Amino acid sequence: MKAGPSSSTLLSIEGVKAFYGPVAALKGVALHIDEGEIVTLIGANGAGKSTLMMTIFGKPQAREGHILFDGEDITHRKTHEIARAGLAQVPEGRRVFPRMTVFENLQMGALNGNGSFARDLERVVDHFPWLGTRATQRAGTLSGGEQQMLAIGRALMSRPRLLLLDEPSLGLAPLIVKQIFDVLKRLNRDEGLTVFLVEQNAYHALKLADRAYVMVNGEISHAGAGAELLARDDIRAAYLGGA
């Protein structure tokens, strides 16, 4: 297993500190994601996971440290510039446009893309077939699981090199969670999509991930292969209820 960033590293976070007012939310976080990997970040609620995800996209901006994407420093770039560089985010809470139709939401996702809209739409519908049959339905009338799938589909429309997902399983039924994780696995296996997954559902996340990090109070406490961390008694006791 790699000890640190390599020539294939797509995202590198180096000593990042971020604050909400005087409160340090991230305390010198360092991690990396290599091209073609699925990497997960787990931790308790309030550990700083979502803050790290938002900091990668510039809100809040890191006060110290650097965020590099494909070797380019994006630490102080604006959010839309970061998206255009090849990153796409599925935020916590999905945040679809409720008054827009399914199709219109997917169109919004394509604004940062540079490929064929028709081809990208076909690709997304291949992963989530129901999006095609309900294209004219307003997003606000969808179930929570359907909205999450739409949010992922919208992000995929930009054809990102790195897909970031913040708590995609939150509040969803186990069957829907399995479907979503199966799609992520297929995207990575068949298309080589690099995925960074922030999750409280440690079991599913660690099973899916090539590598994983654990965050405690704004700092990385453990790092290793997903299967390796899943097998550790201390990680199981802390995040899997000792299961």
pLDDT tens track for 16-48:
999 999 999 999 999 999 999 999 999 998 999
Residue ranges of domains in the chain? 1-86+165-173+190-243, 92-160
Quick one: pLDDT at residue 211? Answer: 97
pLDDT digits (tens, 9 = 90+) for 163-212: 999 999 998 999 999 999 999 999 999 999 999 999 988 999 999 999 99
Tokens at 74, concatenated:
């994006």
Give, for 121, the enclosing helix (H) or strand (E).
helix 117-127
Taking a C-beta distance cutoff of 8 angstroms, is the pair 152, 165 a contact?
yes
Query: Per the CATH hierarchy, to which homologous superfamily does domain 1-86+165-173+190-243 belong?
Result: P-loop containing nucleotide triphosphate hydrolases (3.40.50.300)
Q: Are 170 and 92 contacting, i.e. CB atoms less than 8 angstroms apart?
A: yes
Radius of gyration of the chain (CA): 17
pLDDT of residue 243: 46
